[in-house]
Structure 1
Amino acid sequence: MPRIHKRKLGSRKYHDYTQETLERALNSLRRGRPIRQVAEEFGISKSTLSRHRRGQQTGKIGRPCVFTEAQENVIVDCIALAGEWGFPLVPYDIRLIVKSYLDRQGKSERRFKANLPGIEWLRAFLKRHSNTLTQKLCQNVKRARASVTREVILDYFTELSVSLEHVDPAMIINYDETNMTDDPKRQNVIVRRGCRHPQRIVDSTKSSVSVMFSATATGHLLPPYIVYKSEHLYNTWTENGPKGAVYNRSKNGWFNMELFEDWFIVIVLPYFQKFEKELPKVMIGDNLASHVSPRVIELCQANRIRFILLPPNSTGVCQPLDVAYFKPLKHHWSKVLSNWKMKHRGTLPKDTFHRLLNSCLQDMDEDIIKKKRSIWF
């Protein structure tokens, strides 16, 4: 357990008094008593009393905080807004947000290990902002209770219709990430009657590439955001891919806070900035804590962008991309990957993935989302 330091009076020669004692001493000075007598009576130095009487000593004792008051308020707003959006943050999430904030500012804080604050800093931070933030125990919900019911879905769409009122469909974006696997899946084949377990020789692995797709309520598909599992990104992995696609990488191949922030700035924000800044804009997606960062919240507030989160465990019903796009996408991907596997051996290389994805997207019906616009309304 981290220590919680509480200083005892008498442990140091300066500031060895309480605030109450200081106020009593200053009241004695205001009544005209000599400063030497007051200093001896209350155990406070004459210079300290003199500065407080003139109002010159207003700073805090000890080492300054890592962030200024304005910077900490930005982090507080981020935490509070995340709770209002429906996914309150755990302590480790807050520490990651602080690390992301420092990394984006290009700062290296020596008191933190790799810019990740410790538990003691978090406790002191929560204490400084106890009037805004509080830490509470979260009740675990059983699977039976968490199951999606008809009432939950109806309530969601009722609230969604109210939230989307007076919002232009062109300014409603649905986003979701999916994995494009290196497995062409099973296919229907013709074999001799009586064969119970037909097999075909095809190399397949469990490896995958994460891709973030996003589309508007008018049926316009935004460029995909492709994330490879790697520590480096090479030019051969990005050439001749889908039109306008953006590429990145992470150690585990998953989306994290930094990647979501980059996707938001590079893909979503340029699209929304084509419209007037005062018009309301909406983003519909999953309630993941990794989708929150101080930078994203600042940009949302500056551009009138609001998040609407799907009910938990309802992606297969309420997620427009899942309902209208991902099923035909995975079907076409399986066909494209199968054709490639028939001519090549081994795992699908990264310098080929984006070309196959481009071929897959070109084979799909461009109007497939427009044909299913009813899922939005």
Structure 2
Amino acid sequence: MVKGKRQRLHEDGGRRPKQYKRDVPTYEFRLAVVTFFKATSIAKALERFYHGLEGTPRETARKNIYYWAKNISKIQVAGSSNSIKSKKKLRAAGTATVLSPATDLQLVRWINAYRDDGAPISSMMLRLKALEFAEATGVRSDLFTATRSWRIGFLRRHSLRFRARIRQGQIPPADSAKAVMDLNAKLRSAMDSLGVDVAYTADQTPIFFEYVPKTTIAKKGVKTVWVRTNGKDTECMVCMLLSSSFGEKRTPFLVLKSTQSKIPETRAENNRVRHGFGKVLWKEVERLQSEYEVQIYGNRCGWWDSRLSVIWLDYHFKGRQHPERPVVLLWDLFSGHWSLEVVNHAKSINVHLVEVPGGHTSVCQPADCAWNRPLKQRMRRHWVQRLAEQLADGSDERPAAIKSPSREEVVRWTTASSRDLATSTISNGFLAFFASHQMNRMLRLLLTRLQIN
């Protein structure tokens, strides 16, 4: 062998000819082959597109060309379409078992809630949550498995991507100022027409069982920064908070994930009598409700739904002192808030619903503007204090054991953090919408009283 030259594998040199054994041609390639074949002959088509094939592979290619020519109408449509010509197989939309559009949107809301809190979402987390929602809606696990192709399609449908974090912070959309002005005018119009001086807003937010800091201290230049956790950083419950434009805070609603009974009668009884929990767990939940002045419900997904919205409306507004006076309630554009059942029930108890513009909750939802950040900061403070206490119990011989907080601890932290929110913090969230409106109302009321006196 001559130095500097690579020994040839074949007498003729070069790479081996393509065998087309495991290659599925695209519709664009099939259309080109059939077009050339019809203009010339089968021998010339084989020589041009399958050059070098001999024996059985060549015979297989010949049969494929005749088969494609027989189905030229389908190949012509697919091969001429920019969106289809690169595909190798086609199947009608809806052939595979997929989640319903409502469940799809529920999954998007779950993603948004996690991202709003800064929690990362991996491909595995997306798959497990999709399987959980599918099971809750009655889709069998052997029919829907949340495959990689489904996840890619789901992300594409909702303009989502797996991205590496490059910055932090929240920048409102370019048209957020207009959205605030439109909502301001809509709320003022609703309050004037109904003759009310106060508005309510409610917002659901995930409460995590573990708040791992996003940064830590390490030596300069180290490539691996490891932190020890208990693996509960993505487990959460939902907290629904209600407050008024005057800073009034109402009883929080918490939703926990709870295993549902497989017996329909028992499941119905648990939902009706025990807030969705079993007899054993309900004893603890009932005690927590009484001790911390909170309402706790449970369902399979640990997420808000239309049934809870109806229960929530009844709890806060059905038995109010003056049911003849209308209530204005600002609510997110969430399907569990705006189902036909919820809207009709709100009308029946004289509650007027006003929706927050989709995509603008960061600037149009008072909770997102003013409360959620201090609420989560207080939750993190509780978790950090608990972590410090656990680490203090360790020694050089026996490292401290980091355990996840109990259900009671998370409930206690949530209610304490909610109570610690100042009245001014709550009312500040409404300033963009109600400041001038309430001032005008107060001046009118004052002038009326002066005229009477």
User: TM range, normalised to the smaller chain?
Assistant: 0.5 to 0.7
Which of 309, 312, 315 matches 1:266?
315
Structure 1: 5+ residue runs without aligned partners? 1-89, 94-115, 117-139
Residue type of the alignment partner of 1:236: E
- Distance in 2 of aligned mates of 1:289 and 1:349: 31
Which of 251, 264, 287 matches 1:239?
287
Secondary structure of 1:164's partner? helix
CA contact (8 A) 1:227 1:247 kept: yes
Of structures 1 and 2, the larger Rg is shown by 2
CA contact (8 A) 1:230 1:253 kept: yes
Which of 357, 374, 377 matches 2:431?
374
Residue type of the alignment partner of 1:348: P
Residue type of the alignment partner of 1:159: K
Counterpart in the other structure of 2:88? none
- Distance in 2 of aligned mates of 1:352 and 1:269: 31
- Higher helix content, 1 or 2: 2
What's the CA shift for 1:281? 1.6
Deviations 1:232-267 (A, max 9, x none): 353323534674311110101111111111111123
Q: What pairs with 1:126-137 in structure 2 (closer than 5 Å)?
A: none
Counterpart in the other structure of 1:226? 254
Secondary structure of 2:354's partner? strand
Which of 190, 207, 216 matches 2:244?
216
Which of 413, 418, 442 matches 1:361?
418
1:328 aligns with 2:374: yes
Structure 2: 5+ residue runs without aligned partners? 1-99, 104-136, 138-156, 161-172, 260-276, 391-400, 435-453
What's the CA shift for 1:190? 5.2
Counterpart in the other structure of 1:348? 405
Counterpart in the other structure of 2:297? 248
Counterpart in the other structure of 1:134? none
- Distance in 2 of aligned mates of 1:213 and 1:236: 22
Residue type of the alignment partner of 2:285: W
Distance 1:168 1:198, change over 3 A: farther
- Distance in 2 of aligned mates of 1:291 and 1:362: 25
Secondary structure of 1:264's partner? helix
- Distance in 2 of aligned mates of 1:325 and 1:347: 26
Q: Percent identity?
A: 17
- Distance in 1 of aligned mates of 2:307 and 2:352: 19
Question: What RMSD over aligned residues (CA atoms) do the two structures have, in Å?
Answer: 3.4
- Greater RCO structure (CA 8 Å; 6+ sep): 1
- Distance in 2 of aligned mates of 1:283 and 1:289: 16
TM-score by length of 2: 0.46
Counterpart in the other structure of 1:257? 306
Secondary structure of 1:354's partner? helix
What's the CA shift for 1:187? 5.9
Counterpart in the other structure of 1:175? 202
Which of 163, 175, 178 matches 1:151?
178
Counterpart in the other structure of 1:105? none
Distance 1:251 1:332, change over 3 A: same
Deviations 1:290-323 (A, max 9, x none): 2245654444333322110011111111000111
Q: What pairs with 1:276-355 in structure 2 (closer than 5 Å)?
A: 277-292=323-338, 296-342=342-388, 343=390, 345-355=402-412
